[in-house]
Amino acid sequence: MIDKKIKHAAKSLKLSKFVENKNLKKIEFPNRENSLNSMNMNAAYRVISKWPNYEPTKLRNLNHIADFCGVKSVLYKDESTRFGLGSFKALGGSYAIMNLTEDCKAKGQDPSEITVATATDGNHGRSVSWGAKLARCKAKIFIHAEVSSEREKAMSDLGADVIRINGNYEASLAACKKAADLNNWYIVSDTSWTGYREIPMQIMAGYSVMSKEIIDQMGSLKPSHIFLPIGVGGLAAGIVAPMWEAMNSELCRLISVESHFSHCFLESIDLGMPTAVDIKKETLMAGLSCGEVSEIAWEILKPTLSNCMSIGDDGIPYLMRLLANGELGGDFIEAGECAASGLAALLIAKNHPDIWESLKFNETSDILLIGTEGATDPLLYRKLIAESEE
C-alpha cells in the first residue's frame, strides 16, 4: 500500500530543469579568511550549543522511501522543533544579532538603542525578531506582497515592526537597504553582496551547527548524496562547509533544489557566473523564492555542487501529508513546504532513469535530506494537508 502511495506521489511531481555543474572541483576544503571557515563555524557551535533549551534536532530514517528507491538509507534532518521557532533559521539571525549587540556593548552602546532590519519570506525574519527580543533591541522586518498574514503575525508577536512591500523578495530587500541607510539601522541579512559579508557569514556559521550535528549523528556513516534546498544559498553553504571540511576532496554528491519560478542558482551554475532571475510568480515553497545568489554562498557552492534541479509545486502538499501521517518512516513528521523539496527532488530523480543513473544512485547510497522547517504557517499547513489528494 505504501509503495502505491509513494509511486502516486512521484508521478505527481514535476521536474523543470536538471543541469550538471561544469565548475565542480574535487579539492580540499579551502578554509579561507573572510569566508565560512573552521574558526567561525567552531565559534558558532561553541556558543549556540550552550544556549538555553539547545538540543540537536532529530535525524530521521525514511526507511520506506529507501526501500522504494532501492538505496541503503534516506535520512531526514528534522528542523521543525528548532528552539520552538520551527525552522533552521533560528540558528542564524539570532546568532548574528547576539554578536552584533555584544560588539555594540563593547563600544558603550545600549542594545535598546539600536535597530536591526532585514528582508524575509518569513522564517529568517522570525529568527531576527526572536534574536532582537532576546537582545532587547528593536527590529524592522520587511516582507513582500506574497508573505502570508500568519507568518507576518508570528514576527509581530515577537515584538518586531513588520513592513509589507509591494513586489517580490528582491523588492523587499531593496526597501530594507534604503530604509537602513536613511535611519542608521543594522542590516541582518542572510544574503551577502559586495561590501556586505560579515553578518551573512555569521548567519551561515549559525546554520553550520545543523551540519555538525548531522556529522555527529551519522557517526562513521558518510552521506553519498545530499539534496540541498536553495533560496539565496545560505542554508546550503552552511550545510556544505562542515561536510566539505570533514570529507575534503572526497565530498559527496550535492544536488541543489529550487523552485522553477526562482532558480537563480541553477541558472548561475549553468552559465558559470552569478545570474539574477526575475520572479514573475511566487512558489508555494516560499523560502525558495529568491532571485539572486548570495556572494559567500556562491563561493562555497560553485565548486562543490554536482548538479542542480528546479521543480514545480505540484505534489508537494501530498508529500507533506505522507510525512505527517508517518507513512514514509521516521515517525510522524511535521514538514513545511520547503522541507518537502528535497524528498520531491529525490522521487523525481527516481522517476527519471537518465537522471537516476547520472547521479549514480545504487543499493549502497546513503542519502541526506534537509527538513528545513515545520508548520511555520499553521493555517496554510493544515489547508495543504487537508486538500492534498490521495
Residue 4 designated active-site: no
Q: What are the cell numbers at 236?
A: 546550503
Helix, strand, coil share of the chain (percent; to 5):
45, 15, 35
Residue 181 designated active-site: no
Torsion of CA 10, 14, 16, 17, to 10 degrees: 0
d(CA 202, CA 225): 26
> DSSP letter at 326?
T
Q: What residue ranges in 188-300 does DSSP mark as E strands?
A: 225-229, 253-259
Angle at CA 226, nearest 5°, toward 225 and 228? 150
The catalytic residue among 121, 190, 313, 366 is 121
Q: What are the cell numbers at 386?
A: 487537508
Where does residue 23 rank: exposed (0-12), middle (13-18), buried (19+ CB within 10 A)? Answer: middle
For residue 320, the surrounding DSSP H or E stretch is helix 316-324
The catalytic residue among 89, 140, 177, 212 is 89
d(CA 99, CA 114): 13
Closest CA to 214 of 65, 108, 58, 66: 58
Residues forming the active site: 89, 121
